[in-house]
A and B are shown apart, each in its own frame.
Chain A
């Protein structure tokens, strides 16, 4: 299996009473009351240092993503971040996992095809091309995209990007949302026919089908831990079977918050307040913004209204404390042995081949993050790495960075 380090680049120093004083961490928080541009520059540079340290420590990939108008994680341009990271990790066997530029928010979408191709060239073919739909806050509220058009825009942009990467001849694109008379991409990606595509999602059945039908890797970005994801993930694997796909575990990515310390007791001392900061402040968003009318397709809307599991989990976050987050496995936190055991359990139960770990959580200071990174890759990752390798190849990983399967190694 492959383990990548994810980073949100959040505000690390929100006031203690943030969630009481402000209605949301997304869309509306006032920058000048809450942040200082020089300090924000420090956050960005810490983020670089942490991801680059993870790459040196043995992380198979490093991940950035796109969000807007918020203190939860503010990399409005993941490709600016990815470009620095591609250059800074030159010579390392580390994938640049862009999770990524949100398709419906970029016009024309060929911009993403170009920038991803640039990243693939700069990194020497180490790009993983994440293609997110985007949250309703980012895409509908901040970027003004009509909610009910978001998925259709996404699908058209996806098709355009893949065609721009793979077409040998210039072509005209007569789409509903984009019309371009002569598409002829410069540069082209090193990886042929195109870099691996990952589709991040939060459990919509329609996205399961989309990923499976296009033979992409589906990445479950959940903050509610692996136990609450079990049912959704079972559905994903059944969709894979239904659409005639194999059960290669690398078809599934999963994001998990992880904190490692010397002992379980020390882990609580190290991480408790940062985990609570993340869930209480970092996810402080009016629940209805998550379900802006039209953002979900009809079936997903009906499912989530009839079975409001995620909505309930979301609204009960503020009542939970660190011990609850650990008990419910929202976070995997403890000594190396504890974290190893729980992650092995996660990987086996969900059948995950592309694990993403969030090693900087909420308000964690730089030094503690560096400790977490070092401990995780020294004490935890080695015990997980060979999972699935004897049987399955990660076809959703840059070819130049793939491990040999046991069969190939002996051939």
Chain B
């Protein structure tokens, strides 16, 4: 188990002090979490075995400062905000691993200023839209009963029980508020123009997707791949929308292999 520390930085005209979970040593990697909030898990532990991992909490999701989200009006603000967070961490050009909503943000960061993102791992990103495969609105799915069906390959398995088995009001508050904050940038349809900007991505890109993802079906992998020059797709067997939770070792190994590879 890696020692994880909390680090606060001050950005955005000193209005926001996000918490960043930091662990490990080695070359830096940024991890951007999905809509449900940051949870430090086995996948991040594994990533921290060879890297210094910085996992910022999206604006508004840091405990004690829910109103931080009111200072970031739109996606453009959010992109610039993250460059400031990188500045505060001394990261000029850094590999980013993003999951779902966090992967969309990572793609926007890489497209807006390619110099800031050296490598890109997009795990089941949102951000594109197909009329024939609309993405279910995760913000209006019942957390206790229906959410596991969309998030996990096995909605009745041990992971589902661990995540959703016991009622936890404080956990629910964190998750719902995190969805509200991240939802600010994607409601009601997670297509906010990435398709017009995505061609600007220059970072070598790995797309990881759970084969049985029912929230953002794997058909979207090709949508991203066809738009990002030189990107590669890897489908994860027996996995839904949370491959880092369902197969942490496998996903961490794929990411390491990609980081180590010559591109």
Asked if residues A301 and B176 are in contact (CB atoms below 8 Å), the reply is: yes
A266-295 near B? 1/0 per residue, CB < 8 Å = 000000000000000000001111011111
Ordered by A's residue number, 20 sampled pairs between the chains whose C-beta atoms are within 8 Å are A140-B188, A148-B180, A149-B184, A286-B140, A287-B142, A288-B141, A288-B143, A291-B176, A293-B139, A293-B177, A293-B178, A293-B179, A294-B180, A294-B181, A294-B184, A302-B173, A305-B169, A305-B170, A305-B172, A306-B173
Q: Which of A140, A292, A301 contacts B177 (CB 8 A)?
A: A301
A298 within 8 A of B: yes
Give complex CA distance A146, B184 in Å: 6
CB neighbours of B183 from chain A (8 A): 146-148, 293-294
Q: Which of B73, B140, B143 contacts A292 (CB 8 A)?
A: B140
A152 within 8 A of B: yes
A residues near B (Cβ < 8 Å) are: 140-141, 144, 146-149, 152, 176, 286-289, 291-295, 298, 301-302, 305-306
In terms of DSSP, what is the predominant structure of the interface of chain A? helix
Asked if residues B169 and A148 are in contact (CB atoms below 8 Å), the reply is: no
**Of B62-70, B127-135, B151-159, B233-241, the one touching chain A:** B62-70
Asked if residues A305 and B187 are in contact (CB atoms below 8 Å), the reply is: no
CB distance from B81 to the nearest CB of A (A): 16
Q: Which residue of A lies closest to B73 (CB)?
A: A176
CB neighbours of A141 from chain B (8 A): 140, 188
Q: Chain B CB within 10 Å — which of A140, A176, A293 has the most?
A: A293
Give complex CA distance A295, B184 in Å: 11
CB neighbours of A146 from chain B (8 A): 183-184, 187-188
Q: Which of B67, B172, B184 contacts A298 (CB 8 A)?
A: B67
Q: Which of A152, A289, A298 contacts B140 (CB 8 A)?
A: A289
In the A-B complex, the 6 residue pairs with the closest CB atoms:
A294-B180, A293-B179, A298-B66, A293-B180, A146-B187, A305-B169
Give complex CA distance A362, B178 in Å: 37
- When A141-B140, A148-B181, A288-B141 are in contact, do A306 and B169 touch as well, CB less than 8 Å? yes
CB distance from A199 to the nearest CB of B (A): 21
CB distance from A299 to the nearest CB of B (A): 8
Give complex CA distance A288, B175 in Å: 13
In terms of DSSP, what is the predominant structure of the interface of chain B? helix
CB distance from B63 to the nearest CB of A (A): 11
Knowing that A301-B177, A306-B169 touch, tell me 19 more A-B residue pairs with CB under 8 angstroms. Answer: A140-B187, A147-B139, A147-B180, A147-B183, A148-B181, A148-B183, A149-B184, A176-B73, A286-B142, A288-B142, A293-B177, A293-B179, A294-B179, A294-B187, A295-B180, A301-B176, A305-B170, A305-B172, A305-B176
B102-146 near A? 1/0 per residue, CB < 8 Å = 000000000000000000000000000000000000011111000
CB neighbours of A152 from chain B (8 A): 70
Give complex CA distance A288, B137 in Å: 12
Give complex CA distance A152, B72 in Å: 13
- When A293-B176, A293-B179, A298-B177 are in contact, do A144 and B187 touch as well, CB less than 8 Å? yes
Q: Which residue of B lies closest to A294 (CB)?
A: B180
CB neighbours of B70 from chain A (8 A): 152
Give complex CA distance A298, B142 in Å: 19
Give complex CA distance A111, B148 in Å: 43
CB neighbours of B188 from chain A (8 A): 140-141, 144, 146
Q: Which residue of A lies closest to B70 (CB)?
A: A152
Give complex CA distance A176, B74 in Å: 11
CB neighbours of B173 from chain A (8 A): 301-302, 305-306
Asked if residues A292 and B139 are in contact (CB atoms below 8 Å), the reply is: yes
Q: Which of A147, A288, A302, A306 contacts B187 (CB 8 A)?
A: A147
CB neighbours of A302 from chain B (8 A): 173
Give complex CA distance A287, B169 in Å: 16
